[in-house]
Structure 1
Amino acid sequence: VSSPPLPLSGLPSGGIWTGPGVSGSVATGFVFTPSMALAGTQVLTYTVPGATAACTASARLTITVASPVVATAAAQAAVCAGSGPVALTGGSPAGGVWSGPGVSGSVAAGFVFTPTLALVGPQQLAYTVTNTATCGGSTSRATATITVLNAPTVLLPADTVLCPGRGQAFRLRATPAGGVWSGVGISAGNLFTPPALPGTTVLTYTVNAGTACPVVATRRIMTLGDVNYSIFRTEVLCPNSLFNATPTVPHTVRVSSPLRSAGRPLPAGSVVITWDFGDGSPPVKDSATTHTYTKAGTFRIKATISLPNGACQDSLSLSPLTIEPAFVPNVFTPNADGQNDLFTPRLGGCPPRLQVFSRWGQLVYEHPTYQNSWDGTGL
């Protein structure tokens, strides 16, 4: 709307322009003058008179008058230093750009203000809107204030797991001092007495309570009851396999340890179980896992049960497991005398695929899951 008058022209020359905002004459020329009253779409007409009315021609021109952009920015709520990025809102019209100390982001992703200790106090931010569609670019800028309050950093000891039988009271500590501890089991002098029953106690430590910038930190203390340890081993077998009677390379086992405390399963992650399979393979940490032995020998599986803080630890072992070596005979005598009439390799795992070829490369026998049943048929 603030643009200067726009000259109007048409072909053939000598025509007359009419419409909202049009002024001038054929002699001096016609112009269109934009104004606030004409904001929006305006239709102008160009008429070239002819010798008769039937020979008069006209054409239309559409002109859009853009209103100037006016930016506004709402005041931002106070934030605590170190509390993390906060979204900047209240800028109008949408699509503007926030700028100033601690501001980051983009129009597409949104803008945030990150309060830090270096920004404690009032900070002036700017919201700028630019209309590049018309008028050669129109820019408007508004300001808003955001206040950063100082919040101390609270440091607490790590969450604690108490071993079974440890019920002595101990003093709770935190930095900075002078805050307030709250929760079950807390007495004068910030003494904490663990509960008699197993479970997790959540304690909170509050600094600057009642101010505009309180800081609350949480510490969890898990008390374990007597833990019942047991470990199990099962063979991972293939259905209807003839190779499972005696453990033979390769041989797969599954181990598990359903730990319980006071008759209840322990919370996930409260106990770490490390399995040593006795064959030189790397230890495995899991409550249940599978392992495949690839060499023959006698092995003893050991499980080490420990709490995450390493303060409590125990170990259990299973009875020795003997695994026979694999054996593939290079001769058998299929003469129906009842002795060595079948080809009977000794292999672990699932039944293998067997293919037998003659010396000339002809396939004489094949079975996808061989069950020690070939008697030389096809030779």
Structure 2
Amino acid sequence: MATAGICLSTRRVRYVVAPPVVPTFAPVPTQCIVGAAVTLAATPAGGTFSGPGVSNSRFDPAAAGTGTHTLTYSITDSLGCGTLSQQVVVNRLPVITPGRDTTLCADLRQPFQLRGYAPAGGVWSGTGVTAGGFFTPPNTGNRGGVFPLIYTVTQGPCQATATRTVVLAPVSSQDVGLNLPECAAAPRYAGLAPFDCPLSPVLLAPHATYRWDFGDGSEPSTAAEPTHRYTQPGTYRVTLTARYGNCEVLTGFSPVEVGDVFMPNIITPNGDATNQAFQPRFSCRPASLEVYTRWGQRVYQTNNYHNNWDAAGLPDGIYYYQLRDADDRRAKGWVEVRR
């Protein structure tokens, strides 16, 4: 169409209006602040998730923090577009008070109800305790014990625990064994001077105090598990005064027998069953032995000596030895072989 002095033209433009898309967004249940990240799901696929704590289609409760959060799913393509949101609640952990630790003396063995814990509604677990918190002291053979009791509270998706400790003090006693390793080279002794003696109480418990008397006139120790060096051979009586709360426990240990180092300078391997082999009291630890003639020729060597060298096949005379134990204690000297 044309008119005088005016030029007009027409063009048809076609607009396509995409229909709205109604996505679905799988509900996310209430989460706990310490819970693992959850995978978000929605349809149709190909959209984008957004909101606090959202990354790569996953929702992390710890990153979002406690509270109520809005998560959104958005999708736009050639066929349509749409968004859908939902709210997710992240709960904090319940705050638990398990009550004060308890110490029972040797003469206090009656069952009792635990008190002072909060919030109510939790469950107890551990040795000697019922779910409701009724504690019956176990039989420890008078040696006492340390019993951690766990209080568990569940609130929605959150579960928290706290520990309360019950200490049963041992009874006072005498001649308690020290549980020292045997001195294979001299079984009658705990060790050979200088001897480092490791000590441990009958019961090692939190918040207990200790006072050790080593029986050799040295200063007492307040360490829980001291190692004391006996520099001289002798018989020593170790005593311990331990305090567990208001309970005082006195323990007397079996005597500590400390032997002297003895290096024989003669053996008589003549078949009379006396002094047949070289048997030094050198160390309680495994030791090596080397034996040489006076001219430096090695005639015997072992990395684990058992006090059994008897100069078999060798003439009488003077031989020189070197001993070295697993702690690098060393000794050398000479021994005469006389049949």
TM-score by length of 2: 0.49
* Higher-Rg member (1/2): 1
State the structure with bigger RCO (CA 8 A, min sep 6), 1 or 2.
2
